[in-house]
Structure 1
Amino acid sequence: MKILSLLIAFVLPLTIAAQNKTTITIANNSTLDRKEAVTAIKWEKILLSYPQLDTSNFVVINSVTQKQIPYQLEHRGQTTIQNLLVQIDLKAKSSLKLLIQKGKSEKFTAKTYARFVPERLDDFAWENDKIAFRAYGKALEKTEGDAYGFDVWVKSTSKLVLNDRYKRNDYHIDHGDGLDYYHVGYTLGAGNMAPFVKDTIRYSGNYQQWKILDNGPLRTTFQLIYDSWNAGGIKIQAVKTITIDAGSQLNRIENLYTFNDTKPLAVVVGIIKREKPGVISLNEQQGIMGYWEPTFEKDGTTAVGSILTSPIETMWVNKEQLLAKTFVKNNEPIIYYAGAAWDKAEKITNAQQWFKYLDHFQEELKNPLVVSVK
């Protein structure tokens, strides 16, 4: 009896301890080093291992350094938590162990952000610690300043700058952290997508509704909803779900087109081309389209690129833009990536580095990190 009591006394604390901590192993099985990688761990798997987890009182610890690492509870627009997001560096062919345990979390600096900007004609703007973008809303539609594609706001700081720039209302001049000198006009700008019907790009109107699903600190996701329009005789509606991660030059863009046709719909991703010579890279086989723009005097050089995950029929360059053509089915999402960089941020400073970045990004997509929870 005494032996049984001792066994219970020994086992019970271990059981309780197991309920107050869990281990996450993240493995990089590829030959690529991963830097600033935002990684998602299914929340339901964490709860299976740690059912008593208090979302208001836990920390994520690097098992080697014993330091806290930044995290985010991702909802994807749901009331319940979908994923735990962490940002890590991980060398090729290596793994990292993280511990989830009780504790007061440090306050980490937000690295992503988005908002509706009604004070500037219904802009919707978003950014991370590398780059910023905006899409144009209904208040700008059919005005002199209207534009169809995605705009780029270049940055030379890791700080979030959107609110300060809109408050100054002087964002076409570099005040030490970057500016907006990117021109969109009646093109797809920095990687927007549109139907391509009867050999013509069928631009929609500007977005009509918006919805933020998550807003930092490591990942921001939102939706832009477009009213139906006539695309060369086909009535189409679109919802664009855009995600920007900390540390990334590219957005993840998931478009859902709804139309009354059983045949696949041709669509194109576009990047506006400048009048002066730049450096262009079209890789149909890998679905990568890259552009190193000509330098704009004191404003520097902007790089723009896109990566499609669906098969490419063709890529080409016309007078106005670089284009990549693929197909979508009715009410089935299509996912691609698009974004930009600025040489004055001093991270990517020439065309070769930019094209290498796009190639590396595409390889990361093909070799995702492997996550296990115990």
Structure 2
Amino acid sequence: MKKFFHCIFSLLFITSYAFAQDKYPIITIKNGSSIERADVLVSIPWTKILKADPKIDTAKFLVMNKYTETEVPHQLEYKGEKEVQNLLLQVSVKAKEHLTLIIFAAKPKAVTPKTYARYVPERKDDFAWENDKIAFRMYGKALEKTSEDAYGIDVWVKRTSKLVINDRYKKNDYHKDHGDGLDYYSVGFTLGAGGMAPYVKDSVRYSGNYKTSKVLDNGPLRSSFQLTYDEWDAAGIKVKVTKTISIDAGSQLNRIENLYTFSAQGKNLPVAIGLSTRNENEKKLLLDKNGILGYWEPVHGDDGITGVGAVTLNSLKSATAQSKQALGITEVKNNVPYVYYAGAAWNKAGKITNENEWFSYLQKYQNELKSPLKVSVK
């Protein structure tokens, strides 16, 4: 009987909005692959939504799954612009199946923020960001030439879906686990958890720390930001870079887009994607020239184990382990963005607990990139 009344209520609900709108957009999301997608973000150009419903009110619409009659979490993505660029939807789609979603003119439920990013002037120009799985930071100019200076991407491990960055900086005791994780990852003078730098004359040519930052979007489902760097000399090549980084709810990896400009005219610039390694004799590494780098660190006392990794759709020229880091060597074109994905996982978070699970995650991530969900709007 309860199920009967629920169906009647849902039918009346949908019908009432159908009469309230002359036309409502229908979104179809198809998963043609054999990989189940769970809580992933789908990006739909806002121009497609406007074409289907030119009068849509950005402050008053919700997206509903036609068959389950449940609301789908969404975010309007601006990418630093004044106008909406994309509609982001968090969905799950089984292998070889599809979703049918309907947009209604109604007030949506508030979405609990699952991502966050900010400049941290109170901690020597850090820039920190996180999602419901993991957290990261990059170092700014105020840290240069100090005893704490480091080059690459730092990791803050966590075992809570709550956002922790502000609380940890406020307490200023984040090197100790107070129940939700900590910062024990060591970057040093390496690329850390998937940083990139020019690789010229068989050496990594590091930049200084970032100079300026700009938040482009800040949750609830995706946070993105941009970092700019001063020009530096990479063994005779003058180089500048702008890094655009985004993190999605539910993902262990960041999307990193690097735009290099350099003085070597008519040539591509060799670059390295790096993962900081430790001093153990036999390292647990995945070095795949098809575009996957993975490393599972040794246990760090009571702090646990961190895995770091990087994924690209481009083949690597080489993938090697050096004394302090594993490197994947590729190249970038002058003033052409290069996109790859990098991040980390912590065994004490309980989702990924050993090297096999971490390497499988990275391989699955690349396979998902090769077979994106297909979206149509009408």
Runs of 4 or more above 4 Å deviation: 13-18
**SS in structure 2 opposite 1:21?**
coil
Q: 1:210 to 1:65 in 2, by over 3 A?
A: same
Normalised by the size of structure 1, how large is the TM-score? Answer: 0.94
**C-alpha contact 2:312 2:366 (8 A) present in aligned 1:** no
Q: Is residue 179 of structure 2 the alignment partner of residue 176 of structure 1?
A: yes
**C-alpha contact 2:313 2:369 (8 A) present in aligned 1:** no
Normalised by the size of structure 2, how large is the TM-score? Answer: 0.93
How far off is 1:311 after superposition? 2.6
How far off is 1:309 after superposition? 2.4
Q: Is residue 23 of structure 2 the alignment partner of residue 48 of structure 1?
A: no
Q: Is residue 297 of structure 2 the alignment partner of residue 280 of structure 1?
A: no
How far off is 1:69 after superposition? 1.6
**SS in structure 1 opposite 2:72?**
coil
Q: For 1:20 and 1:116, locate their aligned partners in 2 and report how far apart those are by CA, in whole Å.
A: 43
Q: Is residue 297 of structure 2 the alignment partner of residue 307 of structure 1?
A: no
- Structure-2 residue corresponding to 1:157: 160
Q: For 1:263 and 1:289, locate their aligned partners in 2 and report how far apart those are by CA, in whole Å.
A: 26
How far off is 1:278 after superposition? 3.7
How far off is 1:141 after superposition? 0.6
- Structure-2 residue corresponding to 1:78: 81
**SS in structure 2 opposite 1:154?**
strand
For residues 173-229 of structure 1, what are the alpha-carbon distances to aligned partners after superposition, in whole Å with 9 as ceiling and x for unaligned? 000000000000000011100001111110000000001111111111110100100
Which of 348, 354, 368 is equivalent to 2:352? 348
Q: Is residue 95 of structure 2 the alignment partner of residue 92 of structure 1?
A: yes
Q: For 2:210 and 2:108, locate their aligned partners in 1 and report how far apart those are by CA, in whole Å.
A: 38
How far off is 1:20 after superposition? 4.4
**C-alpha contact 1:20 1:53 (8 A) present in aligned 2:** no
Give matches, 1:189-208, under 5 Å.
189-208=192-211
**C-alpha contact 2:36 2:95 (8 A) present in aligned 1:** yes
Q: Is residue 327 of structure 2 the alignment partner of residue 331 of structure 1?
A: no
What is the percentage of aligned positions where both structures have the same residue?
58
**C-alpha contact 1:262 1:329 (8 A) present in aligned 2:** no
**C-alpha contact 1:70 1:108 (8 A) present in aligned 2:** yes
Q: For 1:113 and 1:324, locate their aligned partners in 2 and report how far apart those are by CA, in whole Å.
A: 29
**C-alpha contact 1:310 1:334 (8 A) present in aligned 2:** no
Aligned amino acid, residue 29 of structure 1: G
**C-alpha contact 1:127 1:162 (8 A) present in aligned 2:** yes
How far off is 1:41 after superposition? 1.1
Which of 19, 23, 26 is equivalent to 1:23? 26
Q: For 2:292 and 2:67, locate their aligned partners in 1 and report how far apart those are by CA, in whole Å.
A: 37
Q: For 2:172 and 2:123, locate their aligned partners in 1 and report how far apart those are by CA, in whole Å.
A: 9
**C-alpha contact 2:313 2:370 (8 A) present in aligned 1:** no
Q: Is residue 148 of structure 2 the alignment partner of residue 134 of structure 1?
A: no
**C-alpha contact 1:19 1:52 (8 A) present in aligned 2:** no
How far off is 1:330 after superposition? 0.7
Which of 106, 109, 112 is equivalent to 2:109? 106
**C-alpha contact 1:20 1:52 (8 A) present in aligned 2:** no
- Structure-2 residue corresponding to 1:7: none
Q: For 1:364 and 1:356, locate their aligned partners in 2 and report how far apart those are by CA, in whole Å.
A: 12
Structure 1 residues without counterparts, runs of 5 or longer: 1-12
Aligned amino acid, residue 108 of structure 1: V
How far off is 1:108 after superposition? 1.1
Give matches, 1:215-226, under 5 Å.
215-226=218-229
Aligned amino acid, residue 101 of structure 1: F
Which of 243, 246, 255 is equivalent to 1:243? 246
Q: For 2:132 and 2:283, locate their aligned partners in 1 and report how far apart those are by CA, in whole Å.
A: 26
How far off is 1:58 after superposition? 0.8
Q: 1:121 to 1:242 in 2, by over 3 A?
A: same
**SS in structure 1 opposite 2:229?**
strand
Aligned pair count reads 361
Structure 2 residues without counterparts, runs of 5 or longer: 1-15
**SS in structure 2 opposite 1:45?**
helix
Q: For 2:267 and 2:39, locate their aligned partners in 1 and report how far apart those are by CA, in whole Å.
A: 40
Aligned amino acid, residue 294 of structure 2: G
Instruction: Give the alignment's Cα RMSD to 1 decimal.
Output: 1.4
**C-alpha contact 2:17 2:105 (8 A) present in aligned 1:** no
**C-alpha contact 1:19 1:51 (8 A) present in aligned 2:** no
Q: For 1:308 and 1:105, locate their aligned partners in 2 and report how far apart those are by CA, in whole Å.
A: 36
